[in-house]
Amino acid sequence: MPELPEVETTRRGIEPHLVGRRVSRVIVRERRLRWPIPEDLDVRLSGQRIEAVARRAKYLLIRAEAGTLIAHLGMSGSLRLVDAALPAAKHEHVDIVLESGIALRYTDPRRFGALLWSLDPLNHELLSKLGPEPLGGDFAGERLYELSRGRSMAVKPFIMDNAVVVGVGNIYANEALFAAGIDPRREVGSLSRARYERLAEEIKRILAQAIECGGTTLRDFVGGDGKPGYFQQELFVYGRGGEFCKNCGGTLREIRLGQRASVYCGRCQR
């Protein structure tokens, strides 16, 4: 599933080609995504100039003059720029064709993504209750510490809760906990303020590094230019259960936490 760095990579890739350009038409070949694509999307978006391409959590916000297209890549989706004349392949469900002759093409084999229209996107039901952005000034270790008091859940699902902080998906939760030396099974209420401060800094560092690497390609993610990310070369624990720890040489353990694979080092993480 594309996580925050992959979505931000896509945003950065498509933004220069969309902002200031006018949409000539929208071609919808398949409306049945996680939620149906609005029947009147072509009418609403055609003729509109794109004013901004922003991101909130894992949602892309393509803001036009009269409203905003909310895009979510689901589990297997991608948005990439192609020549509008290029014939669509299987699973290429939507083209947003620009007057420049370029099309923003939405591909989604599993159809778990979404393309929705909103006049007030930040107050849309999908976005209105989200926590702070991890790379923004509103997120810090103090927030994690305060929200964790009196709670007994494990720390890994805690930092993956979008009401706590957005965009810390499974890959980056594994990596941040390893970098901070925290066992993913630890009860959140048992961790000190200092350890949360370290964890928040590692979340910020690792997400920023992943964005610079263009995201992590584990199955079928590509950025807006169609190129894969390469942060997987930097992974210390995710997907490496049973292999050696790059820090101490011990064997990495793999368990299930919240129905997600969690890999950690029993020596380095406490």
In sequence order, what are the beta bridge partners of 71?
60, 115
21 is in an annotated binding site: no
- Token pair for 84: 């509008």
Give the C-alpha separation, 44 to 49, whole Å: 11
Give the C-alpha separation, 106 to 93, whole Å: 6
93 is in an annotated binding site: no
Q: Which of 58, 63, 105, 195 is catalytic?
A: 58
CB atoms within 10 A of CB 15: 17
The three-state secondary structure class of 178 is helix
Q: Which of 3, 92, 175, 202 is catalytic?
A: 3
Q: Which of 2, 121, 157, 184 is catalytic?
A: 2
Tell me the CB-side half-sphere exposure of residue 200, using CA atoms within 13 A. 24
Q: Which of 12, 246, 260, 267 is catalytic?
A: 260
270 is in an annotated binding site: no
260 is known as an active-site residue = yes
CA distances from 88 to 118, 184, 222, 244 (A): 27, 43, 17, 44
129 is known as an active-site residue = no
CA 19 to chain centre: 21
**The Cα angle at residue 64 between residues 60 and 68, in degrees rounded to 5:** 45
Alpha helices in the chain (DSSP H): 4-18, 41-45, 141-148, 155-159, 170-180, 193-212
| Residue spans of beta strands (DSSP E) within the chain | 23-28, 50-56, 59-64, 68-72, 78-83, 92-98, 102-107, 114-118, 252-257, 260-265
Q: Which residues are annotated as a binding site?
A: 91, 110, 151
Q: Which residues are annotated as a binding site for DNA?
A: 91, 110, 151
Catalytic residue ranges: 2-3, 58, 260
